[in-house]
Chains A and B, each alone.
Chain A
Amino acid sequence: MSLLGRLAAVILGLALLAWATTGEAVAHASLVSAEPADGAVIETAPSVLTLRFNEDARPLVARLIRPDGRQELLRDLRGGGSVLTIGLPAGLSQGTHIVSWRITSQDGHPIAGASLFSVGAETSMTPLPASSDSTVRAGLWLARLFLAIGMALGVGGVAFAAFFADGKPAAGPIIGGSLVAGLMALPVFVGFQGLDALGLPLTGLLEIETWRSGLLGTAYGHTAFLTAAAFLVAGAARQQGGRLLAAVALLLAGAAVAASGHASSAAPQLLTRPTVLLHVVAVCLWIGALVPLAFSLRAGNSGIPALLLFSSVIPAMLVLLLVTGIGLAIVQLGGIDGLLGSAYGRILVAKLGLIALLLGLAAINRYRLTMPAAAGEAAARRRLVRSISVELGLAVLILGVVGLWRFTPPPRAMAAVPQSPAQTLHVEGNELSAELTLKPSRVGPVIIEVADLRRRGEPIRPVEVEIELGKPSFGIGPFLRKAQPTGDSRWSAGGFVLPMDGFWVVRMKVLVSDFESVTLTDLFDVPGG
């Protein structure tokens, strides 16, 4: 097996490993006390936060979230034995602050937690502004564009060579160059994802936490791993030839895009993720064919057989492209009104306009120019080459426009905000079932109510109920609160303050008897303000 193939296998293995180990915080050390205490309201701003653990702990990282939602990394961490002192910046304003921390215990397991304290009075938090640094967003867009070009021109080009041109590479340097450019854009992509996730400026690239967040903290990390694997397998396919490797590279590219993003996370995911995968595969096959075709046709008549084969297949691919694209757009928009009313919709209109132009050009190529060029007419061939070049330009423009979607929430996500003042989940597992309600379902102070707690269908009266809320992908929390009984099989846990929207992991630990506890885990999707 070639070096590239083996490298791809290692990357995939690491991706699987990263998948398996993200998120979970195993508490082998545990917090004994905090000063100021969790949930305390104090008169003057404290200068340090002291955490006492039951065994020696080494500090990893700590983050402060201010009442206005701004986040910053706290660098003054002093740990001696089992006591950790976190220096807080001077001049903390009035309101509720959260310190989210991460330590390793003696046996190497990292544990995470959060402390909440209020200076003067408790305040509700304003939601975090989406990555306010425009340099970061621009960098992210650019890195993503290069990744897309690497996929479309590189992986797509390799696929074209394998399926349509009998493995004889035309425009080899450009295809190889696209793959390399894509690979080089990957670390930039990962770093900037981390910056965006933590809301840090460019200097945040120097922090290891940024890279950890970009690689392991969000779904975009999975995208990065799969993209790397796709590029490497495509490289191996280029060297060794073979349709199997090219097909695998295509599927990996599709899976990489389907692993993250708004379109893939829309319900039902069983339908949307494969749809995105097919959409991306069709895009790669189409755009990837443009450069080799243009090059081989410009050189002479050698590209004709490939051109004819491609022309016969492309209508089917275009149908697949259109069907998958329209399906995804419908799910995202939730109605025609979303089309011009939202930023998402406006980008979609731009993309559709460009696609219409592209399709028009493609139709001209297919029906007016292909046959004469195939017959050997040099003039027709030259016009075809020019037309393909324009197609290529339009395609890159479309890829750029599509990259803007990263920064706009689709209407379906925004529609959730005014309707539900509370969100209820029915959780089941381990013979236990309950209704968990998040009140109110938005950023800021919230309480979680547990109702209809049943075991094997029968209502039970547990000894204790504990609720844990956390956002492991952003390194926030988990916040642990004991729930108070408020009636028959009803419990309520308050004192949570959510500083961000998005997915929050809720874990309910029910002490059924002195010797038996059952834990249920689920996700709340908190809509953004």
Chain B
Amino acid sequence: MRLPGLLPGFAVALLATAAQAHITFENKEVVPGSTVKLVLRVPHGCGGSPTTRVRIQLPEVLRAAKPQPKAGWELAVVRPDAGLHAASTGHAHGTSSDVREVSWSGRLDDAYYDEFVVRVTVDVKAPAGPLYVPIVQECETGVERWIEVPAAGQSSDELSSPAPSIRVTPRT
């Protein structure tokens, strides 16, 4: 017996929706070895409260991170203690260890929208597939942690606070 074509249609309609209130990246796809400007979009505060701090934890495959400072916001970076990491792209620009965590502290009203930019180089050996970047959004009252990663077989749509993701696609 053939399953009727209705079934995939129903499934798509019920399970897939546009998640407009989440923190997401403007970038959809990146290529290993390339240098990209990652743009993080913050459309909301935490339950109505203004955002006071945005923290990004960059995964290992995103190297040589350089965050863009924002007027009115205080920028801080965290580097793990370590020896030299050889930049896999072959362009060594002087940083002795990669930035792992970036944070901007300031104030963004819930009614307003803003973007936070960090320039990264994607490691040539980055595996293809979705790359999850956990974000912590601190507000005047409360904290939103965009850190949930879907398990095998799950989709980000089912999570309440999914970590924003970008897709690593090999150069074709």
Residues of chain A having any CB pair with chain B under 8 Å: 1, 5-6, 8-10, 13-14, 16-17, 20-21, 24, 26-32, 52, 54-55, 105-109, 430, 511, 514-517, 519
Contact = CB atoms under 8 A, between A and B. Distances in A.
Interface in B154-172: 157-160
Give the 8 A-B residue pairs with the shortest CB-CB distance, closest first.
Answer: A27-B160, A515-B134, A32-B47, A515-B57, A54-B47, A13-B7, A107-B17, A9-B1
Given A27-B160, A28-B21, A515-B57, 14 more contacts: A9-B2, A9-B3, A13-B6, A17-B14, A24-B158, A26-B158, A28-B160, A32-B47, A32-B48, A54-B47, A105-B21, A511-B145, A515-B136, A517-B147
* Chain B CB within 10 Å, residue with most, of A52, A54, A515, A519: A515
A408 B6 CA distance: 40
A21 B15 contact: yes
Given A9-B2, A430-B151, A511-B145, A28 B7 contact: no
B158 to A, nearest CB: 6
A106 B2 contact: no
Nearest to B49: A32
Nearest to A53: B47
A103 to B, nearest CB: 14
Contacts of A106: 20-21
B7 A17 contact: yes
Contacts of A13: 3-4, 6-7, 10
Contacts of B136: 514-515
- Taking chain B's interface residues, is the majority helix, strand, or loop, or is none over half, making it mixed? loop
Contact of B21 (A8, A17, A24, A55): A55
B8 to A, nearest CB: 10
A108 B157 CA distance: 12
A108 B7 contact: no
B140 interface: no
Interface in B130-151: 134, 136, 145, 147-148, 151
A336 B146 CA distance: 56
A516 B134 CA distance: 8
Contacts of A21: 14-15
B63 interface: no
A29 B157 CA distance: 13
Contacts of B134: 515-516
B18 interface: yes
Nearest to A511: B145
B19 interface: yes
A141 B44 CA distance: 52
12 contacts: A13-B3, A13-B10, A24-B158, A30-B47, A52-B48, A54-B46, A105-B21, A106-B20, A107-B19, A107-B20, A516-B147, A517-B147
Nearest to B145: A517
* Chain B CB within 10 Å, residue with most, of A14, A31, A54: A54
B111 to A, nearest CB: 12
B85 to A, nearest CB: 20
Contact of B160 (A9, A26, A108): A26
B55 interface: yes
Contacts of B18: 107
A54 B48 contact: yes
Contacts of B84: none
B11 interface: yes
B152 to A, nearest CB: 11
Nearest to A30: B47
Contacts of B57: 514-515
A202 to B, nearest CB: 31
A447 to B, nearest CB: 24
B41 to A, nearest CB: 16
A28 B19 contact: yes
A52 B141 CA distance: 15
Interface in B1-53: 1-4, 6-7, 10-11, 14-15, 17-22, 44, 46-48
A55 to B, nearest CB: 6
Nearest to A248: B1
B158 A514 contact: no
A221 to B, nearest CB: 16
* Chain B CB within 10 Å, residue with most, of A13, A108, A511: A13
B151 A108 contact: no
A109 B160 CA distance: 10
A111 B44 CA distance: 19
